[in-house]
Chains A and B, each alone.
Chain A
Amino acid sequence: MATVNSTAEPTAGPVQTGPASLGGRKRNFLTGMTLGDFLAVAPFVLFALMFLLLPMSYLIVQAFQAPDGSFTLDNLAALGTPKTLDSFLISIRVSGASAILGCVIGLFIALAIIRGKLPDGIRSTVMTFSGVASNFAGIPLAFAFLATLGRLGLLTVVLKTVFGFDLYKAGFNLLSFWGLTLTYLYFQIPLMILIIAPAIDGLKREWSEAASTLGASNWQFWRFVGLPVLWPNLLGTLSLLFANAFGAIATAYALTGSTLNIVPVLLYAQIQGDVLGNRGLGAALALGMVIITALANVIYLVVRTRAERWLK
């Protein structure tokens, strides 16, 4: 359910606050800490410890603990059972498909509204709508798609009665891999548009003018200038969208119940009833999820710094 602050930093200017020199005297930021300074950061540090770092470390430790408290790798090994492995695979497939499609479709929509010379109002409308839609996830989103494409959904019924086309007989099912992917796209595409729009703005008009002066076709411009510049951004956003979908559960839970056993749904059931009957296994499941989302985010952070090189 990640979102992008739509008031995102318009002023990415280099603001140097420098090592503060109150009263003209340079102070080391740790040794020169006053009580006021300490009180200013105390709530943040305490919160980070109690609600981010400690709970996470606690789970990681438990992932390596046998019921009697001794060290073990059994919990991690248990992730390899067919049922658990299956949920990881389904999760990765759904997240991957919705991230790739979201990236491609979002890129095209962003290109259309920015470089397609559409009337002025369209861009701001699309950006505002993207801000809303990227936040419109979870339970209500599932309801909307059930009302539209569910077995009794409006679109399903209209297609059947008016056009004589039975979606469900044609093999479509909302409570399936593609159904879930289609639903996830509703928040993935807008997120892509919000993130990639500033990058596309950064492609300077002079570049395409220079390219066409040199005789490059439109395709050549994108192949040799546009895409190489955007590439780190695309890759970064792709991994962000992947992590975004991988951690999402509410939409899938409301949509499919437990028919589609993605990892978060499995973990949800595990937390609710300890159905796997093993404390360590739940922690291992959580650890597996975090490793995957962390990898995706690391890719995002690494390529983001690269992406900023051209787009200033």
Chain B
Amino acid sequence: MIRGKPWAWLVFGLGALYFLLPLLATFLFSLSIRKSGYTLDAYANVLADPRFQSTLGYSLFIALCTIVIGLVIVVPAAYYIRLRAPKLRPIVEFVTLLPLIIPAIVLVFGYIRLYSTSSWLPVLGWQLGGQYVGGPLILTFAYVALGLPYMYRAIDTGLRTIDVQTLTEAATILGANRLTIIAQVIFPNIIIAVLSGAFLTLAIVIGEFTIASLLSQPVFGVYMQNVGANRAFEPAALAIISFVITWGAMGMIQLLSRFAPKTARKD
């Protein structure tokens, strides 16, 4: 006899149908580029497209920059709040939640108005050694903002599982300065949380379209939109590819959470 209540099986079955059918249909659709039989041609077309490689590479690069800058911004601040200023915690938490309240499109609209070439701080026009850096820079910071709620929560959860106070005191007695403490004592102890935040950021950023397209940045999401407007079967292949990427990033988080320390500090 099968375990479980019949109604639960029914609900689960209907849910599975809704979630798996589009995946299956998209996969089969992506294989049907030829009139007869299934082929992987759509995937071959996509993978051979130089724009696929360059945009995905660029997106990965921006994602990496986003993660590094995000860590530099979040880790010291979260550490400081835990250690010295718990009273400021609600304020900081509210600020980190702002990107959920302000829609991404409004955020980028603000950047464009504030940092356009005709404004008082024309970051969007910046060049460095003949290279255009303004757009990529703003894009990266926009992505830092998108990932901020998740990055902050991941880091804060990580800090909660270690004894920040004792570690800091011990390191201070041994003569370490603040930077050394953060980089060599705190950071290695919360590396699992850091990586979770990093992969989540990657999953959010890798296929992002709105912000990048309004900043005219050649990212993967914009490329996908482009293909979607011009081709029939390749978009389905791209949908499957990005699903696999998302799955990979989330799978890494699952895997990492097994290594995460489960105990909070004991007082």
Contacts and interface: CB of A to CB of B under 8 A. Distances in A.
Interface stretch (B20-28, B58-66, B126-134): B20-28
A138 B207 contact: yes
Contacts of B15: 105, 109, 112, 126, 189
B1 interface: no
A7 B98 CA distance: 21
A230 B98 CA distance: 26
Nearest to B214: A271
- Dominant secondary structure at the A interface: helix
Interface stretch (A73-81, A147-155, A208-216): A147-155
Nearest to B245: A140
A142 B209 CA distance: 12
B242 interface: yes
Contact of B29 (A20, A154, A283): A154
A270 to B, nearest CB: 8
B11 A116 contact: yes
- Dominant secondary structure at the B interface: helix
Contact of A43 (B76, B84, B146, B224): B76
A188 B210 CA distance: 19
Q: Which 7 residue pairs of A and B lie closest in terms of their CB atoms, listed nearest first? A: A116-B8, A55-B110, A247-B103, A36-B178, A44-B77, A143-B239, A147-B29
12 contacts: A7-B193, A9-B157, A37-B84, A135-B250, A138-B208, A138-B209, A143-B238, A152-B232, A154-B26, A253-B225, A290-B106, A297-B100
Interface of A: 1-3, 5-11, 13, 15-20, 22, 27, 29, 34, 36-37, 39-41, 43-45, 47-48, 50-52, 54-56, 58-59, 62, 105, 108-109, 111-113, 115-119, 122, 126, 128-129, 131-133, 135-136, 138-149, 152-155, 185-186, 189-190, 243, 246-247, 249-250, 253-254, 264, 267-268, 271-272, 282-283, 286, 289-290, 293-294, 297, 301
